[in-house]
Amino acid sequence: MDGLWRCGSLDRLTLSLDVVIRPCGPQDLEGLEWSGAFRDQRDLFQAIHQRQHLGEVDMLVAAVGDVPVGQAWADYRPAAAGKLPMVWGLRVQPAFRRKGIAARLLGALEGLAMGRGHTGLSLEVEETNLTARRLYARLGYLTVPKHWDRVAPTIRSSGGRRILLEKRLAGAAQLSAGMAAHG
């Protein structure tokens, strides 16, 4: 036993987890509070979930079994005013970061937005969040000047300067044209 202590570990186990990206259901709302860390966001989560039923939002979770380990939603209301739909609430629990979950959540939202005929998505990121900025750049999101006013959901943030990013969705124009031709 002394030899195990000297090498720094007693045992090692590699886990493979099945992470499913799916629409958020009412059973997921409490889990989005992450054991109380986001309890103050409960009303927001419920409001966004209700808006999903109205078709204004796609609210997704990344789940391991029944436990949400990530979330993101796309708000389509800005599109009614000629602006790109806005991604909100993208976050992944710390133990599950750097495993591709955020990229998968964004990819799923992009697919849903294209299916609705949208040609792009926008999102905001805190200027100091370099890890997120690198991810968004890798996924094709480009910085644009803020050029419109909007009302944002109240999302906890450090209050720092936020940067607006947009991505034009590949194939969205062809999809829109095809839908118009067959619609």
Instruction: Quote the pTM value.
Output: 0.81
Give the containing element (helix H, strand E) for 100: none
Domain residue ranges in the chain: 17-182
Kindly state the DSSP code that residue 26 receives in the 8-state scheme. G
Note down pLDDT in tens along the chain; length 183 residues: 455 555 566 787 787 889 999 999 999 999 998 888 888 999 999 999 999 999 999 999 999 999 999 999 999 998 888 889 999 999 999 999 999 999 999 999 999 999 999 999 999 999 899 999 999 999 999 998 765 444 444 444 556 788 899 999 987 555 445 544 444
What pLDDT digit, counting tens, does each position of 30-62 carry?
Answer: 999 888 888 899 999 999 999 999 999 999 999
> Which of 133, 119, 125 minimizes the C-alpha distance to 173?
119
For tokens 């009412």, what's the residue?
Answer: 26
Residue 16 has a pLDDT of 86
**What is the DSSP pairing of strand 57-64 with strand 19-23?**
antiparallel
| Separation CA 64–CA 67 (nearest Å) | 5
The CA angle 59-37-55, to the nearest 5 degrees, is: 15
Query: Would you tell me which CATH number, out of the four given (3.40.50.970, 3.40.630.30, 1.10.240.10, 3.40.50.300), belongs to the domain 17-182?
Result: 3.40.630.30
